[in-house]
Chains A and B, each alone.
Chain A
Amino acid sequence: MKYNVIDGLKYTQQHEWARKEGDTVVVGLSDYAQDKLGEIVFVELPDVGAEVEAGKSAAVIESVKAVADLYAPVDGKVTEVNEALLDQPEVINQDPYGEGWVFKVEIKDESQLDALMDKPAYEEFIIKEEEEE
């Protein structure tokens, strides 16, 4: 597949990824999503301490041409945001699963992660979406 999908992460239908690290979940944008958006030039981050809700917009990612919401994959309180993205949003394009992480939430209900897609399921999802385009 043309896009990088990492094993061990969970993926949403809106193309966020979620990685569990103890009690927190790290959230970012998938390689597929950053490729579709193109050059990212602006990121609006949630406030630390804010409560985010699964499926609701938690951050905004903007490329030259498009504005995209980044939806929280799970409910929880934001514990940390990647402030480096404010000055260098292009890091999401360069390293979507690493330095390009967007925020971390303290997870409330771990079962919400189970509802998300794993690598094979997400790859299948991308292929379907590409075909529909």
Chain B
Amino acid sequence: MPMGEVKKTPFYDKHLALNGKVIDYNGWLLPVQFPQGLVEEVHDTRNRATIFDVSHMGEVSVEGKEAEAYLQKILTNDISKLKDNAIIYSPVCYPDGGVVDDILVYRINSENYFLVVNAANTDKDYEWFKDNCFGDVRLQNLSSDYAQIALQGPNSEEILQELTDLSLAEMKFYRFQVNVSLAGVNSIVSRTGYTGEDGFEVYCKNAGALALWDAVWEAGWKKELRPAGLGARDVLRLEASLPLYGHELSKDINPLQAGLNRFVALDKAVPFIGQEALQKQKQEGFSRKLFGLEMLERGVPREDYPVKAGEEEIGWISSGSYSPTLDKFIAMAFLDPEVAQQGEEVNVLIRKRTYRAKITKMPFYRRDK
């Protein structure tokens, strides 16, 4: 993408009509919030349902006889047991264990996969995927063909069910279906999300996007569906302690430091890129690991603020915010694991003053099932 070029999603005019405050987010014009405000958007998502435009996310298809072997090489997670119509989350690492991206892998069948990658990383990822490609594997960057809607919150199933004959009650978390007709629009429907709430992510080609959006709204207004923006999305994912690339993961932060051990198959039989480095680093231990913090005094912990134990600086905050759901100030922080223990008190340096916080377990919020 040339510098300075901003892209609009198919829903751009919808955001303006809803009085969304549109910002440039990694080259995409997207709503950061709507008039009801970020706090209400978080409550709406937890208690009813909200609709997010997530068309900026990238999509890559991987096809061919060696698609599985190829993915086993580039993913830290093990997809050997992944079934058709199931999804797995996985980091993608560099040889030194640093993270290229964290992605979702949709298995359509053993020779056809659909990858969903972070918007800001799409071009970099695609280059990385190509550079490490071998044998009978065909890659396609479909990012500019697809629009994506996230419908999140407890009312999501009821709303989406009105648009399809497919029984959504039977679709489990991290499962999906392709070729679902939603109000006549051919879609991929998956029970996934980035909010810690039940919900769906729906992909369709740009041509059908507006029809799909309108149909979701038509079905949704009776169920109190509201729009929500990037601001609420970031707070929701923090409450659910879901990592965000650039904050909890990066080329300098490996997935084990971020506590994603169950998505890193260190003893995977097929070697993956970064495996050796990660095995070694795990043995040696880490100078910083991810912990949860809850403020004991009113103060907003924000990214890059230093964290101290007594006078000693023991790490930094990677993401922090007021949590509307918990009515607390919470943060994720990379801290010295030698010093940091759950339940212990630390200090967060906010401007020139220190504020007391305690190390707490994550996720901060878990929905009742």
Contacts and interface: CB of A to CB of B under 8 A. Distances in A.
Interface string A48-72: 0000000000001010110100000
B299 A42 contact: yes
Nearest to A90: B39
A38 B322 CA distance: 13
B38 A38 contact: yes
A41 interface: yes
A86 interface: yes
Given A60-B351, A64-B39, A64-B321, A42 B33 contact: no
A39 interface: yes
B38 A39 contact: yes
Interface in B335-364: 351
Contacts of A86: 298
Contacts of A67: 300, 302
Given A62-B300, A64-B235, A67-B302, A41 B38 contact: no
Nearest to B295: A42
B37 A38 contact: yes
B298 A42 contact: yes
B231 interface: yes
A64 B299 contact: no
A64 B231 CA distance: 9
B302 A64 contact: no
B351 A64 contact: no
Contact of A44 (B39, B231, B302, B351): B351
Interface string B163-189: 000000000000000000000000000
A42 B300 contact: yes
Chain B binding surface SS class: mixed
B348 to A, nearest CB: 13
Interface string A62-84: 10110100000000000000000
Nearest to B40: A39
A38 B300 contact: no
A69 B325 CA distance: 27
Contact of A41 (B32, B33, B322, B351): B322
Contact of B38 (A60, A64, A87): A64
A41 B37 contact: no
A92 B317 CA distance: 28
Contacts of A64: 38-39, 231, 235, 321-322, 324
The 6 closest A-B pairs by CB, nearest first: A41-B322, A39-B39, A62-B300, A42-B300, A64-B322, A64-B38
Nearest to A44: B351
Interface in B290-310: 298-300, 302
A38 B351 contact: no
A86 B298 CA distance: 8
Contacts of B329: 41
A67 B305 CA distance: 13
A79 to B, nearest CB: 22
A65 B231 contact: yes
A105 to B, nearest CB: 21
A108 B191 CA distance: 64
Contacts of A38: 33, 37-38
Nearest to B350: A44
A39 B37 contact: yes
25 contacts: A38-B33, A38-B38, A39-B37, A39-B39, A39-B322, A41-B322, A42-B298, A42-B299, A42-B300, A44-B351, A60-B351, A62-B300, A64-B38, A64-B39, A64-B231, A64-B235, A64-B321, A64-B322, A64-B324, A65-B32, A65-B38, A65-B231, A67-B300, A86-B298, A87-B298
Interface string A100-111: 000000000000
Given A41-B322, A42-B299, 7 more contacts: A38-B38, A39-B37, A41-B300, A42-B300, A64-B322, A64-B324, A67-B302
A102 to B, nearest CB: 16
A35 to B, nearest CB: 10
A65 B235 CA distance: 9
Interface in A7-64: 38-39, 41-42, 44, 60, 62, 64
Most buried by B among A39, A64, A87: A64
